[in-house]
């Protein structure tokens, strides 16, 4: 059936199923779900439909349930198709006739009539989504008092944050790129422009890095030729920061494939680092370091602005698995410091089990974090979340991170 736009909707349906039924990330699911979608515009549309569906899933389901006599099962195909239809109408401003023409062919028989009837009913009612997405109940239970502010920040995808190779050129690049700077060496731009087309990309003047993701390396400050280990380094934003700040960096990651992207960015920026592909739980350094930065594998719930799948994939089992790995990595990292050396631990997670609870187990001397514009917790940790205004600038927020620091 040759219907324009249908391949993108069929791919979005596959993506949604991969996330909600199989627990895959959007990135993991993209290859298989979109392999028969050739046009870049259709591939981008499939991702956009799925992301907006996941971002607003709780509210979209409530609308569906308000227009059916019997609640559709969670995994029923008509519910999945209706989710995509409503996301297109209410979030992407797709005309209803185009939605019906490209969604109903995904169903047959009674389910097709059901989906058409529910969508038409909601369309006639003129329903709308709330100002901010409603988080899943289990997420609200975990995030507690922080949940409303985080939810308010999830209504729109995040802006584009850049880290500059030379912080002294911040004002110059802000003017050239038309961005705003929230701290030296940082720029924030609107979404939409292809990264490769931006001024300074080919010259390696900057790299893409969320504002919060750049904070852990900032904690270590200037390297002045000292040795630093970036543990679990790929894709390499923190390695680039450390190298640009004058550290002699060893970048270690278990994934040789992901390290290839780091090599490309080092080549592009003209920065240098020693790259090691190894398992941090088995690897042993030849000498100890002045600093170790451990940006540990985690559930990545702090990236929910750009990866709304984490709102629905992550639960107690995944959190417990990550916490166990983080504890093991922290124990090894703490032993690789020279006397007086600094350990910085970071996770892009909003879960206490991965942040505060892991930090409480470290036996080194706590080194309270002080970064201009960011308030530390009473314990001296740094905790960001998507609902925070960035250095006094409201709007856009930042990823959720936990950062702790210690001295040997």
The reply to whether omega before 235 is within 30° of 0 (cis) is yes
Angstrom distance (rounded) from CA 151 to CA 221? 32
CA distance 220 to 382: 13
Q: Which DSSP string corresponds to 34-101?
A: TTT---HHHHHHHHHHHHHHHHTHHHHHHHHHHT-SSPPPTT-HHHHHHHHHHHHHHHS---HHHHHH
Largest CA distance in the chain: 72
Alpha-carbon distance of 102 to 94, in angstroms, equals 11
3-state helix, strand, coil in the chain (%, to 5): 45, 15, 40
Distance CA 215, CA 227 (A): 19
Q: Is 311 helix (H, G, I), strand (E, B) or coil?
A: helix
**E strand or H helix that includes residue 160:** strand 160-164
- At 407, give phi and psi (nearest 5°): -120, 145
Q: Which among 316, 318, 312, 315 is positioned nearest to 17, based on CA atoms?
A: 312
CB atoms inside a 10 Å sphere around CB 336: 21
Closest CA to 115 of 102, 134, 130, 125: 102
**Residue 210, SS3 per DSSP:** coil
Residue 229, strand partner residues: 250, 292
Write down the catalytic residue from 232, 298, 304, 348: 348
Q: Look up 348 and say whether it is catalytic.
A: yes
Residue 133 near residue 155 (C-beta atoms within 8 A): yes
Contact indicator for 63, 97 with CB cutoff of 8 Å: no
Name residue, tokens 């620091």.
Answer: 405
Place of tokens 């995994």: 75
Instruction: For residue 384, count CB atoms less than 10 angstroms from its CB and return exposed for 0-12, middle for 13-18, buried for 19 or more.
Output: buried
Active-site residue list: 348
């Amino acid at each position: 059936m040759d219907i324009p736009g249908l391949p993108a909707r069929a791919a979005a349906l596959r993506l949604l199923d991969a996330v909600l039924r199989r627990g895959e990330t959007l990135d993991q699911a993209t290859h298989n779900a979109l392999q028969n979608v050739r046009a870049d515009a259709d591939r981008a549309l499939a991702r956009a439909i799925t992301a907006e569906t996941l971002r607003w899933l709780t509210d979209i389901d409530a609308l569906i349930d308000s227009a059916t006599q019997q609640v559709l099962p969670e995994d029923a195909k008509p519910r999945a198709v209706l989710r995509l239809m409503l996301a297109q109408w209410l979030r992407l401003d797709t005309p209803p006739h185009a939605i019906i023409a490209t969604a109903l062919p995904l169903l047959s028989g009674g389910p097709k009539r059901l989906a058409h009837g529910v969508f038409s009913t909601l369309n006639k009612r003129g329903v709308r989504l709330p100002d901010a997405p409603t988080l899943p109940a289990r997420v609200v239970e975990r995030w507690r008092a922080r949940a409303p502010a985080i939810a308010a920040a999830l209504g729109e995808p995040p802006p584009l944050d850049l880290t500059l190779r030379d912080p002294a050129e911040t004002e110059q690049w802000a003017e050239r790129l038309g961005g705003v700077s929230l701290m030296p060496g940082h720029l924030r731009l609107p979404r939409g422009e292809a990264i490769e087309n931006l001024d300074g990309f080919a010259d390696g003047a900057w790299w893409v890095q969320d504002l919060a993701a750049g904070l852990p390396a900032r904690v270590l400050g200037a390297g002045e030729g000292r040795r630093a280990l970036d543990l679990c380094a790929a894709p390499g934003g923190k390695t680039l920061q450390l190298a640009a700040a004058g550290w002699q960096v060893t970048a270690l990651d278990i994934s040789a494939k992901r390290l290839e992207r780091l090599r490309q960015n080092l080549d592009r920026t003209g920065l240098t680092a020693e790259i090691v592909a190894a398992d941090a739980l088995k690897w042993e350094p030849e000498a100890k370091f002045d600093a170790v930065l451990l940006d540990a594998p985690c559930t990545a719930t702090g990236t929910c602005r750009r990866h709304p799948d984490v709102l629905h994939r992550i639960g107690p089992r995944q959190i417990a698995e990550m916490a166990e790995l983080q504890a093991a990595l922290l124990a090894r990292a703490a032993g690789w410091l020279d006397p007086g050396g600094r350990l910085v631990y970071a996770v892009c997670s909003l879960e206490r089990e991965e942040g505060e609870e892991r930090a409480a187990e470290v036996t080194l001397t706590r080194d309270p974090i002080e970064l201009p514009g960011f308030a530390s917790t009473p314990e001296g940790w740094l905790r960001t979340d998507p609902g925070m205004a960035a250095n006094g600038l409201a709007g856009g927020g930042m990823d959720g991170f936990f950062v702790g620091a210690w001295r040997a």
